[in-house]
Amino acid sequence: MESQNHEDRLPDQQYFENMITSIPDYPKKGVVFKDITTLLQDPEGFARSIDEIADHFLDMGITKVVGAEARGFMTAAPVAYRLGAGFVPARKPGKLPRETYHQEYDLEYGSDSLEIHKDALNENDRVLLVDDLIATGGTAIAQLKLLQNFDCEVVGMGFLMELDFLNPRDHVRKYTDADVFSLIHVK
């Protein structure tokens, strides 16, 4: 597949918004859940979303893409493939077989933790974090804290969707000045 410079093609907000299904009162009353599975099951929409994220970071020398379990895997792994980079999974506790770094974090509806293998990255790596969604920034911040254990350089963060009304960029800016890119902005 031929790559395009990210400046040549801007994401079409409406195109991607039309592929996301809104589920009212899920997982609890008053919340409108944004279901990305309708985007993922559409071959053109899925491919285009991966291409848009990858193209934005194409010329940044990314060597590794980190994605959080589980929905982050669906976007991070194909972005890594498109960039010719390695994929590093940030997994739930007890899922990785070798020695790991561990980070707890708060979610919108509770708390969780992630782990990364201690040998997954090194000082030569230029890292991109990719996930399906950034809401309060909790998962992204947990990954940024995990990456502080390495001498790698975090150069970007890419998301399918950003919940702007929760101001996630304000939260992640306390930990990084990396480029943040989102296809869909929910106001």
Active site residues: 71, 108
Give the DSSP per-residue string, 22-56.
EEET-SSTT-EEEE-HHHHTSHHHHHHHHHHHHHH
List the Cα angle 21/67/124 in 5-degree steps. 150
Token look-up 């960039």 returns 83
Give the span between the Cα atoms of 145 and 69, in whole angstroms.
Answer: 16
Give the span between the Cα atoms of 17 and 1, in whole angstroms.
Answer: 25
Token look-up 């739930």 returns 92
Beta bridge partner(s), residue 87 = 65
